[in-house]
Amino acid sequence: MKDQLKLSALMRLHWRWWLLSLTLGAVTLGSVMGLLTVSGWFITAAAVAGLQLAGAGTFNYFSPGALIRFFAISRTASRYFERLSSHQAVLLLLQQLRLWFMRRFLASSFRPDTRSADLLQRLITDIDRLDQWPLRVVAPLFWACLISAGWLAALWFWQAELAQIALVYLLVLICVPIIGAALGYQRACSLVKLASQRRHKLLEPLSVLTMLQLHQGWSGAEQQWQQTEQQYQALLWRQQLLDLFCQFLLISTIALMSFHLLVSALPLLQNQQISIAALVAMLMSTLALPEIWLTLATLYRHLADSKMAKQRLNQIQPATENGRYSTAEGPLRLELQQLSVAYPGAVQQTQPLTIALKAGEMLWLQGASGVGKSTLLSTLAGWLPPASGKVLLNGSELQQYTASAQRHSISMLSQHVTLFNMSLAANLRLAKPQANDEELLHALADAQLSEWINTLPNGLDTELGEYGVAVSGGQARRIALARLLLQNPAILLLDEPLVGLNPTTAQQLIDTLRHRCHQQIVIITSHQKFATGTNCYRFELNLL
C-alpha cells in the first residue's frame, strides 16, 4: 500500500549518523575484547618472566602497557561518542516519524476515538517503540556478527584448528536468537496487544467509577480487569522464562566453547606451539563474547514491539481522492438537530442547537470561555460523540461518514497548533505536498501574512524552529490556518482564529475567508464580535 511506514526509508535520510553510531559501537566492543586479550597476555607474560632466572632474558612491558591504555581510552571515548551519535540518529528518526504521522493524519480518514482511554498513550508508545528496531535489533545483531567474525578471523590466522572449533560454537550462538524468535515472537506480539487491553480495561471503568458504583457495575468491571491482568501476568512470566532460557543457552555455549578451546589448546602448549600467555589471552578474549551476545537473548521481544507499533500506525489510512462524496450525493448540507455537547464526565452540557447550513454559509459561535465552543467543534469534527441530538451530513449521521472512505473533508484549526523544525514551505506542504510556491504564497496572503512574508530574507525557505519557536503565537496560528486552507476542506472549523489579531487584521481575515470559502461551510468560534456580511448565522452558546 502506498505511503506505508518503512523505517529503513526514514533511516536512509540520515544514514551517516546511523553508520557513525554502528561504527563507534563496533569500535567500543572491539576495544573491550582487545583490552581483555592484551591484559590477559600481559599479566601472564609478566608472571612467567618473573619466574624465570635473573638475566635469562628481558621483558618489554612498555608496548603491552601502551596497548592496554589505548584500548581503555578508545573503549571509553568510543562509547561516549557512540551514545551521542545514536541519540542524534534516534532524535532525527523520531522527527521523521512525527512528520510522517502528520502527513498521514492530514490526508487520512482516521478520526480519534476519544472514548478509548489509551489512545494518546498508545500513539506516543508506538512511536517511541519504533526506535527499538534500529537500536535493539539491527545494531546488536550487526555488532555481534562483525566482532565475532573479526575474532574468528584472528583466531584462524593464529591457530586454524582452534578456529574450526570456535566456528561451530558461533553457529550455535546464532541459532539461539532464532530459537527465541520461534518460541516467543507470537507470544510477544500477543503481550503487546494484551498490554493495551489491560490499560483500557483499567482506565475506562475509572473514568465512570461513580456511575458503576451507583449501578452496581464496578464488581463486573473489576472482575474483567483481573481476568485480563491474570492473562497478562501469565504471558509475561512465560516470556521472562524464555528470556532466561535464551540467556542460559548463550552463556552455556560460550562457556563450553572456552572449555573446549582450552582442552584443545593444551596439546599445542605441551608441544610449545603456543605460549601460556597466548593461551590465557585467547581465553580472556572469549570473556568479551557474553557482552556482545547476551543482548540478542531478548531480540524477539524488541522485534515484536516495533512490528506491532508499525502495524498500528499503518492502520491510519489515507482518504480516497480529495476526500469528497460522489456528485450523486448532491450539494453539501450540514444539519444540527437539537445538538448538545459535553466532554465525557462533564457536569453540564451546552444548550441545544438546531440549524441547517449549506455550502457558502458561515456559522459564528459566540460565548464566554468554558461554555463549550471547542467541545462543539470537536463534536462536529467527529472526535467526540454528541451528548444529545444529531449531526447530519447530507441527511446521514456524521459518525457514519467519518468511518467511511468517502467522507467529506472536515478540517479543524484548534487553539493549539503544531509546527515542525522545517522551512515555512515544508510546513505548509504537509497539507498539500504538490503545491507550488505560488499556491503557498496565495494561502499565506489569505491568512493575512503577505506583508510578513515579504519582510523575511529567505521567504518561504525561512526555518521555523522546533515547535515554531522562530515565529510569534499569532503568526504560528495563521501559518496553521494557511496550511488548512491548502487542504481546501468542504467544512472548515476554526477555534478562536482571531486571538492576538488587531481589529483591522481580524476583519480582513474574516472578509478573506468569506470570499475564499464561498463553496464551503465555515464555522468559527470566538468571544469577539465582527461584521460577517451575508450568509452568516450567529449563535450565542451557553450551558444548560
**Single-letter residue type at 125:** T
Residue 464 is predicted with a pLDDT of: 86
Residue 251 is predicted with a pLDDT of: 95
- 240 found inside a domain: yes
> Is residue 342 located within the same domain as residue 249?
no
Residue 498 is predicted with a pLDDT of: 81
Q: Are residues 171 and 326 in contact, defined by beta-carbon separation less than 8 angstroms?
A: no
Helical H runs in 208-275?
209-214, 218-270
> Is residue 394 located within the same domain as residue 255?
no
Boundary (domain end) residue, out of 314, 345, 368: 314
Least confident of 67-76, 101-110, 288-297: 101-110
- 369 found inside a domain: yes
Most confident listed range (121-125, 377-381, 399-403, 530-534): 377-381
Least confident of 36-50, 112-126, 236-250, 385-399: 112-126
Q: Are residues 187 and 236 in contact, defined by beta-carbon separation less than 8 angstroms?
A: no
Most confident listed range (19-33, 95-109, 131-145, 437-451): 19-33
Q: Are residues 427 and 106 in contact, defined by beta-carbon separation less than 8 angstroms?
A: no
d(CA 172, CA 191): 28
- Asked if pLDDT for residue 284 goes beyond 50, the answer is yes
Pick the closest to residue 524 from 123, 501, 439 (CA basis): 501
- Beta strand extents in 120-210 (DSSP E only): none
> Is residue 459 located within the same domain as residue 506?
yes
Cα torsion 422, 427, 432, 438: sign? negative
Q: Which residues on neighbouring strands pair with residue 357, listed in sequence order?
A: 334
**Single-letter residue type at 542:** N
> Is residue 166 located within the same domain as residue 292?
yes
Residue 287 Cα distances to 29, 118, 281, 372, angstroms: 12, 44, 10, 65
Confidence band for 217, pLDDT divided at 50, 70 and 90: low
Least confident of 264-278, 335-349, 444-458: 335-349
> Is residue 92 located within the same domain as residue 12?
yes
Confidence band for 108, pLDDT divided at 50, 70 and 90: low
- Other residues' Cβ atoms within 10 Å of the Cβ of residue 240: 11
> Is residue 235 located within the same domain as residue 257?
yes
Q: Are residues 511 and 533 in contact, defined by beta-carbon separation less than 8 angstroms?
A: yes
Boundary (domain end) residue, out of 284, 314, 344: 314
SS3 for 393? Answer: strand
- Burial label, 464 (beta-carbon count in 10 A; 0-12, 13-18, 19+): buried
Q: What is the mean predicted confidence (pLDDT) over 383-405?
A: 72
CB within 8 Å of 223: residues ≥ 6 apart: none
> Is residue 449 located within the same domain as residue 512?
yes
Q: What is the pLDDT of the chain when averaged over all its residues?
A: 81
SS3 for 398? Answer: helix
Pairing outcome for strands 333-340 and 388-393: antiparallel
**Single-letter residue type at 14:** H
Q: What is the mean predicted confidence (pLDDT) over 441-466?
A: 87
Residue 210 is predicted with a pLDDT of: 58
- Other residues' Cβ atoms within 10 Å of the Cβ of residue 170: 21
- 2 found inside a domain: no
Pick the closest to residue 20 from 110, 76, 104, 80 (CA basis): 80
d(CA 43, CA 34): 14
Residue 322 is predicted with a pLDDT of: 43
| CB environment 82-118: b (16+ within 10 A), e (fewer) | beebbeebbebbebbbebbbebbbbbbbebeebeebb
Q: Does the reported pTM lie above 0.95? A: no
pLDDT digits (tens, 9 = 90+) for 155-184: 999 999 999 999 999 999 999 999 999 999
- Asked if pLDDT for residue 344 goes beyond 70, the answer is no
> Is residue 363 located within the same domain as residue 233?
no
pLDDT digits (tens, 9 = 90+) for 63-82: 888 999 999 999 999 999 99
- 185 found inside a domain: yes
SS3 for 351? Answer: coil
As a dihedral over the C-alpha atoms of residue 373, residue 374, residue 379, residue 382, rounded to 10 degrees, the angle is: 150
d(CA 290, CA 252): 10
> Is residue 363 located within the same domain as residue 244?
no
d(CA 434, CA 522): 25
d(CA 78, CA 89): 16
- 320 found inside a domain: no
Total number of domains constituting the chain:
2
Whole-angstrom Cα Rg for the chain? 32
- Burial label, 154 (beta-carbon count in 10 A; 0-12, 13-18, 19+): middle
Confidence band for 406, pLDDT divided at 50, 70 and 90: very low
The pair phi, psi for residue 385, each rounded to 5°, is -80, 150
- Asked if pLDDT for residue 469 goes beyond 90, the answer is no
Residue 395 is classified by DSSP as T
Q: What is the DSSP string of 505-523?
A: HHHHHHHHHHHHTTTSEEE
Residue 380 is predicted with a pLDDT of: 85
d(CA 250, CA 298): 12
Q: What is the mean predicted confidence (pLDDT) over 289-316?
A: 86
> Is residue 391 located within the same domain as residue 516?
yes
> Is residue 87 located within the same domain as residue 234?
yes
SS3 for 485? Answer: helix
Q: Are residues 404 and 108 in contact, defined by beta-carbon separation less than 8 angstroms?
A: no
Boundary (domain end) residue, out of 265, 287, 314: 314
d(CA 429, CA 331): 28
494's enclosing H/E stretch is: strand 491-495
Task: Please calculate the CA angle 520-451-366 and round it to the nearest 5 degrees.
Answer: 40
Domain that holds residue 385: 325-540
Residue 404 is predicted with a pLDDT of: 44
- 1 found inside a domain: no
CATH value at residue 455: 3.40.50.300
> Is residue 273 located within the same domain as residue 352?
no
**Single-letter residue type at 416:** H
Residue 204 is predicted with a pLDDT of: 64
- 219 found inside a domain: yes
Q: Are residues 389 and 338 in contact, defined by beta-carbon separation less than 8 angstroms?
A: yes
Q: Are residues 392 and 335 in contact, defined by beta-carbon separation less than 8 angstroms?
A: yes
Supply 248's cell numbers.
542460559
Residue 317 is classified by DSSP as P
SS3 for 429? Answer: coil
Residue 544 is predicted with a pLDDT of: 64
As a dihedral over the C-alpha atoms of residue 268, residue 272, residue 277, residue 280, rounded to 10 degrees, the angle is: 10
- 216 found inside a domain: yes
Q: Tell the residue number behind the cell numbers 512511536, with chain if given.
A: 127
CATH value at residue 81: 1.20.1560.10
